[in-house]
């Protein structure tokens, strides 16, 4: 059986998801799993697809970046599928792990993809540093600290920490951190 997996990062990318699905079906997929989730978040549909495949099946994706977020993640998926006796085909790269050459190419190209990602992150860090030096980048203001006056007002009204968390949408640790910082500032 050929099992396909298609993913886009956001719900707005419907055309990209439909294009992947059409390509996978044209390539003979018996079942296609569709997911709209960022590669950094939990991908439940990917997990369902991996659970679904059986020995002798082929797991098919159109592009490498639709499957894995890093070389480590790629090899985690590859090892899980290999343990089940499932091959991987990545159409856009002409890779099929049923062959030794395909397995080698997957490893080499995965390494290049990881290198490219690291270079992009390095350029991003350099850009952020330059923006900070120019005074154009301030970073994110912590959500709870922005609401510290409101946290302290609710505490003074006798609200419990869970009630404050719910009312303001902040974590337990953030509420305690603000309270501790306010109490410490009053001691000084």
pLDDT of amino acid 72: 74
- Catalytic sites, residue numbers: 9
**Residue 171 resides in a domain:** yes
How do residues 133-182 score in pLDDT, each as one tens digit? Answer: 998 887 766 667 788 888 899 999 999 999 988 888 888 888 988 888 88
- What pTM value is reported for the model? 0.57
Distance CA 132, CA 139 (A): 9
- Please write the tens of the pLDDT for every residue from 63-113: 988 888 777 788 889 889 989 999 999 998 889 988 899 888 887 877 787
Residues 148 and 102 occupy one common structural domain:
no
Looking at residue 9, its pLDDT comes to 79
What's the pLDDT at 54?
Answer: 97
What span, in angstroms and rounded, lies between the C-alpha atoms of 155 and 119?
A: 47
| 107, 151: one domain | no
Domain membership of residue 164 as a residue range? 143-187
As to burial, measured by CB atoms within 10 angstroms (0-12 exposed, 13-18 middle, 19+ buried), residue 4 is buried
Taking alpha carbons only, the member of 62, 27, 33, 61 closest to residue 45 is 33
Asked if the structure places residue 119 within a domain, the reply is: no
On whether both 19 and 76 belong to a single domain, the answer is yes
Q: Is residue 120 part of a domain?
A: no
Q: What CA–CA distance (Å, rounded) separates 117 from 166? A: 38
Mark whether 101 and 159 lie in a shared domain: no
- Given a cut of 60, is residue 184 above it in pLDDT? yes
- Residue 72 and residue 102: Cα distance in Å, rounded? 18
pLDDT at residue 187, rounded to an integer? 61
Domain total for the chain?
A: 2
The encoded tokens of residue 138 equal: 């301030």
Considering only CA atoms, which of 86, 38, 94 is closest in space to residue 62?
94
């Amino acid at each position: 059986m050929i099992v396909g997996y298609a993913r886009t990062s956001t719900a707005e990318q419907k055309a990209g998801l439909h294009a992947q699905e059409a390509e996978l079906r044209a390539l003979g997929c018996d079942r296609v799993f569709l997911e709209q989730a960022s590669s950094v978040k939990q991908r439940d549909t990917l997990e369902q697809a991996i659970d679904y495949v059986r020995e002798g099946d082929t797991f098919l994706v159109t592009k490498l970046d639709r499957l894995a977020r890093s070389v480590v993640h790629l090899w985690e998926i590859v090892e899980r599928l290999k343990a089940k006796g499932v091959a991987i085909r990545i159409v856009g790269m002409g890779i099929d792990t049923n062959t030794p050459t395909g397995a080698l190419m997957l490893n080499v190209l995965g390494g290049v993809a990881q290198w490219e990602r690291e270079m992009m992150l390095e350029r991003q860090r350099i850009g952020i540093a330059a923006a900070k030096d120019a005074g154009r980048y301030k970073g994110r203001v912590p959500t709870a600290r922005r609401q510290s006056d409101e946290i302290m007002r609710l505490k003074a009204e006798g609200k419990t920490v869970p009630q404050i968390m719910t009312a303001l949408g902040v974590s337990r640790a953030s509420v305690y951190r603000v309270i501790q910082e306010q109490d410490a500032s009053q001691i000084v």
